[in-house]
Structure 1
Amino acid sequence: MSAVKTVTDATFEDEVLKSDKPVLVDFWADWCGPCKQMAPVLDKFAEEHGEKIQVVKINTDQNPETPRAYDVLALPTFKVYKGGEVVKDIRGARPKRKLEEDLAEFL
């Protein structure tokens, strides 16, 4: 079972905006090749760092309201939410090491 949780437009507020720890949100779609490449990277990242930062994913095709509300225009896009606000924005696929560097302040 993956350490990455799936959220929807309906659960985004409770799972992400009201979380008491930082949340890394993966905005993805089934047709996005780089998104699929990132799935195992995010699984491993979540297994190793889940106690400090929660990792969730939201399918942008099935849940269009949330990506629209947060100006997600390209996939994959990763946003870190803390206290209900976006505090970090990352676009594009990357290796786990680079993702850890980008998110070092939350680890």
Structure 2
Amino acid sequence: MSKFGELINVPVPVLLDFYAEWNEQATAMHPVLLDVAAALGDKAKVIKIDVDKNQQLAEALRVKGLPTLMIYKGGEMKWRQSGEQDASTLIDIIQEYL
């Protein structure tokens, strides 16, 4: 969990994508997240978290549906939503926190 604190305690917004390889909706988000990361460059971070490999973290954050997307800034959760999103919507939301 201390590594999680290091991930989210940064000055730029961090988009977390909680996914599982067996979940089609969640894996469908991978190319969208690549687009978001490419569009924002070093202004934000995009991090994918496999819930099967990080069960303790997923439980602590009450991740139920996949994909679950969260935006943190300065260690604080600013936005959260379950389900697919398109790249332009995610970019717009992240830009609110730049």
TM range (shorter): 0.7 to 0.9
Pair 1:68 & 2:59 matched:
yes
* CA deviation after TM superposition for structure 1 residue 99, in Å: 2.2
Whether contact under 8 Å (2:17, 2:67) holds in the other structure is yes
Query: Between Structure 1 and Structure 2, which shows a larger proportion of helix residues?
Result: 2
- Looking at structure 2, the residues matched to 54 and 15 of structure 1 have their Cα atoms a distance apart, in angstroms, of 9
Identify which of 3, 6, 15 aligns with 1:14.
6
Q: CA RMSD in A?
A: 1.6
Q: How many residues align?
A: 98
> What are the within-5 Å matches in structure 2 for residues 22-101 of structure 1?
22-101=13-92
Distance 2:52 2:68 in 1: 14
Quick check: 56-65 or 94-103, which moved more? 94-103
Give the ranges of 4+ consecutive aligned residues of structure 1 lying more than 6 Å apart after TM superposition: none
Listed one character per residue, the Cα deviations across residues 57-84 of structure 1 (whole Å, up to 9, x for unaligned) are 1100111111111111110000011121
TM-score by length of 1: 0.81
Identity of aligned residues (%): 35
* Matched residue type, 2:6: D
TM-score, normalised on structure 2? 0.87
Query: Is the contact between residue 52 and residue 106 of structure 1 (CA under 8 Å) also seen in structure 2?
Result: no
Distance in 2 (alpha carbons) for counterparts of 1:47 and 1:69: 30
Q: Which runs of no fewer than 5 residues in structure 2 stay unpaired?
A: none
Give me the whole-angstrom Cα distance separating, in 2, the residues matched to 1:50 and 1:29. Answer: 25
Shift of 1:10: 6.1
